[in-house]
């Protein structure tokens, strides 16, 4: 059917009540997400619905005209999950910003897809609660995108990824039908777990418009932060293994390699020069010796100096800022391919060795940070600005990293999603039988194949 006919129908039906973008220059701004190495197509239109009824109407029209739909939150995907295709409808949830309810007694909130992660957490803090998932982009990333990618973050080691915090969803299917899954209860085993299926589906099954999410009690005592420096990534990995095996329960356990620390220090002058690896650990329990135990385990693994221990909240924020600066510091060095693999924590030291070996073998620059407490590494491959596409050496090194993760009983993506960048690797992880099941599920939700084409399943 005619794309121009679709755009005319979209403007006629939705133009009076929400923003519909058809101007070429503005359309171009929606071509890509933060995975800039994925070339995006030019959308036919972008719609910013204000209500679930608007989303339903837009998808009904897309089905009638058989126009592909690319759902989009804040555009912070690092796997190309929100990259547009030529002639598509980009359906942005950025105007769905209501916190519909926040129920402290039930420890839950019902929020629309465009609510920013950090805004929800601050709203919960007014009631002594918190929203636990905290990806590094939490100040701009939205709940809809968090749910669509099953996002993780720094606190995953204790509180789990987004899926563990989602009780139910409001989702609009490709044909415009509105489906509500899950309940507001802690326990629910009524029927198949459609909520769990939709979390992490990356917009390929429908558009998430709202979520019922679990809140946690905010720690009454400020967390204790432990920072330890190491002479090698491998020694830091060994410290992680010791902490997870015999240490106290930690709420945050982050690792940064020397290249990352040097790039941050060259930018911010934070006194990080000469450190080859660093662990940032937080304990939010009440036992006074928990932090001391973490520091002792770091020393046993080869920390080069006595670990710094602080209970000061302001100092803790400064230390965490080092971790959150990792990606922007890498961007200053050149173009970036931010990867995302996970292995069992017991295999973390070996995975670190494999990343370093792949970088050396192919002569590429790699900065590695990790949510080390759950074995989730982010090797970031960097090359010169101005080079079009991913250089062959970088692609080869990244492929080695993916293969190593699978060999070590791990995954090709822990929290960024498959998107475009890893679609060719998915079957190697899940196998042909499971892949066939996933395609069958996709066909039930989206028989015309219009939802986020080219992502996840290829």
DSSP states of 307-362 as a string?
PEEE--HHHHHHHHHHHHTHHHHHHTTSEEEE--EE--GGGHHHHHHHHHHHHHHH
424 within domain boundaries: yes
Give the model confidence (pLDDT) of 359-368 as tens digits: 999 999 999 9
- Is the domain of 301 the same as that of 356? no
**CA dist., res. 19 & res. 449, Å (int):** 25
- Is the domain of 278 the same as that of 361? no
Sequence-separated (6 or more) residues with CB below 8 Å from residue 145 = 73, 74, 76, 77, 82, 113, 151
- Is the domain of 73 the same as that of 103? no
- Is the domain of 433 the same as that of 338? yes
- Is the domain of 404 the same as that of 342? yes
- Is the domain of 26 the same as that of 105? no
**CATH number reported for the structural domain that contains residue 350 in this entry:** 3.30.70.2740
Q: Which pLDDT does position 145 carry in this prediction?
A: 95
Question: What phi and psi values does residue 242 have, to the nearest 5 degrees?
Answer: -70, -40
**CA dist., res. 42 & res. 188, Å (int):** 42
Q: What is the DSSP letter of 85?
A: -
Q: Which pLDDT does position 287 carry in this prediction?
A: 65
**CA dist., res. 73 & res. 33, Å (int):** 10
**CA dist., res. 363 & res. 383, Å (int):** 11
In Å, how far from its chain's centre is CA 380? 15
- Is the domain of 402 the same as that of 433? yes
Computed from CA positions of residues 221, 226, 227, 233, in that sequence, does the dihedral angle turn out positive or negative?
A: negative
- Is the domain of 351 the same as that of 421? yes
Q: What is the DSSP letter of 451?
A: B
Q: Is 358 exposed, middle or buried, given 0-12, 13-18 or 19+ CB atoms closer than 10 A?
A: buried
List C-alpha distances in Å: 381 to 61, 84, 338: 41, 24, 6
Report the domain count for the chain.
Answer: 4
Q: Which pLDDT does position 288 carry in this prediction?
A: 66
**CA dist., res. 164 & res. 160, Å (int):** 6
**CATH number reported for the structural domain that contains residue 233 in this entry:** 3.30.70.2190
417 within domain boundaries: yes
pTM recorded for the entire structure: 0.90
- Is the domain of 291 the same as that of 265? yes
Domain boundary among 70, 92, 114: 92
Residue 201 tokens, joined: 């589906």
**CATH number reported for the structural domain that contains residue 30 in this entry:** 3.30.43.10
**CA dist., res. 32 & res. 273, Å (int):** 35
- Is the domain of 245 the same as that of 192? no
Helix, coil or strand: residue 421? coil
451 within domain boundaries: no
Question: What phi and psi values does residue 293 have, to the nearest 5 degrees?
Answer: -65, -40
For 240, left (φ over 0), alpha (ψ -120 to 50), or beta?
alpha
294 within domain boundaries: yes
- The three state secondary structure string of 27-55 is HHCCCCCCCCCCCCCCCCEEEECCCHHHH
- Is the domain of 116 the same as that of 203? yes
450 within domain boundaries: no
Sequence-separated (6 or more) residues with CB below 8 Å from residue 399 = none
Domain boundary among 305, 325, 345: 325
Q: Which pLDDT does position 2 carry in this prediction?
A: 65
Q: Which pLDDT does position 76 carry in this prediction?
A: 86
Residue 156 tokens, joined: 């995953």
Which stretches within 66-98 are classed as H helix?
A: none
Half-sphere exposure of 182 (CA within 13 A, CB side): 26
454 within domain boundaries: no
**CA dist., res. 191 & res. 206, Å (int):** 19
**CA dist., res. 147 & res. 165, Å (int):** 9
456 within domain boundaries: no
- Taking only the tens of pLDDT, the chain with its 458 residues reads 568 899 999 999 999 999 999 998 899 999 988 888 888 999 999 999 999 999 999 999 999 999 999 999 998 888 888 999 999 999 999 999 999 999 999 999 999 999 999 999 999 999 999 999 988 888 999 999 999 999 988 888 888 899 999 999 999 999 999 999 999 988 889 999 999 999 999 999 999 999 999 999 998 878 889 999 999 888 898 899 899 988 888 989 999 989 899 999 889 888 887 888 999 999 886 666 888 899 999 999 989 988 888 888 888 788 778 888 888 888 888 999 989 999 998 888 889 889 999 999 999 999 999 998 889 999 999 999 888 889 999 999 999 999 999 999 999 998 889 898 899 999 999 999 999 999 999 999 999 999 999 999 87
What residues form DSSP beta bridges with 180?
A: 170
**CATH number reported for the structural domain that contains residue 124 in this entry:** 3.30.465.10
- Is the domain of 116 the same as that of 192? yes
Q: Which domain holds residue 227?
A: 221-325
Q: What is the DSSP letter of 164?
A: G
28 within domain boundaries: yes
Domain boundary among 163, 188, 217: 217
């Amino acid at each position: 059917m005619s794309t121009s006919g679709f755009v005319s129908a979209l403007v006629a039906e939705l133009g009076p009540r929400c923003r519909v973008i058809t101007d070429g220059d503005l359309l171009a701004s929606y071509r890509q997400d933060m995975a800039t190495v994925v070339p995006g197509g030019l959308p036919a239109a972008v719609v910013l619905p204000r209500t679930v009824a608007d989303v339903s109407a837009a998808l009904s029209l897309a089905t009638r005209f058989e126009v592909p739909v690319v759902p989009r939150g804040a555009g912070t995907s690092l796997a190309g999950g929100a990259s547009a295709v030529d002639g598509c409808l980009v359906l942005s949830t950025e105007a769905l910003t209501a916190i519909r309810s926040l129920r402290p007694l039930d420890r839950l909130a019902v929020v629309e897809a465009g609510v920013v992660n950090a805004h929800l957490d601050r709203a919960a803090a007014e009631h002594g609660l918190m929203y636990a998932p905290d990806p590094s982009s939490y100040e701009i990333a939205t709940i809809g995108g968090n749910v669509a990618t099953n996002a993780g973050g720094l606190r995953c080691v204790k509180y789990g990824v987004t899926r563990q915090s989602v009780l139910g969803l409001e989702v609009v299917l490709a044909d415009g039908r509105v489906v509500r899954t899950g309940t507001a209860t802690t326990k629910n085993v009524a029927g198949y777990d459609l909520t769990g299926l939709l979390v992490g589906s990356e917009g390929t099954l429908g558009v998430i418009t709202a979520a019922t999410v679990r809140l946690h009690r905010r720690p009454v005592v400020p967390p204790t932060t432990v920072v330890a420096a190491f002479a090698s990534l491998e020694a830091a990995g060994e410290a992680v293994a010791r902490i997870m095996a015999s240490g106290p329960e930690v709420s945050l356990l982050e690792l940064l390699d020397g290249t990352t620390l040097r790039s941050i220090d060259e930018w911010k002058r934070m006194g990080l020069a000469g450190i080859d690896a660093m662990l940032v650990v937080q304990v939010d329990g009440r036992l006074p010796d928990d932090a001391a135990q973490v520091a002792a385990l770091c020393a046993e693994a080869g920390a080069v100096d006595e670990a710094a221990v602080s209970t000061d909240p302001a100092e803790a924020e400064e230390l965490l800022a080092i971790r959150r600066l990792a990606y922007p510091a890498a961007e200053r060095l050149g173009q970036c391919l931010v990867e995302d693999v996970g292995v069992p924590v017991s295999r973390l030291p070996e995975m670190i060795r494999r990343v370093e070996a792949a970088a050396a073998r192919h002569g590429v620059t790699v900065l590695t940070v990790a949510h080390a407490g759950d074995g989730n590494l982010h090797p970031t491959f960097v090359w010169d600005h101005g080079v079009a596409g991913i250089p062959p050496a970088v692609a080869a090194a990244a492929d080695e990293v993916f293969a190593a993760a699978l060999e070590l009983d791990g995954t090709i993506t822990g929290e960024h999603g498959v998107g475009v960048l890893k679609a060719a690797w998915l079957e190697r992880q899940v196998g042909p039988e499971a892949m066939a099941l996933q395609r069958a599920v996709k066909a039930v939700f989206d028989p015309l194949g219009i939802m986020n084409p080219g992502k996840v399943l290829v």
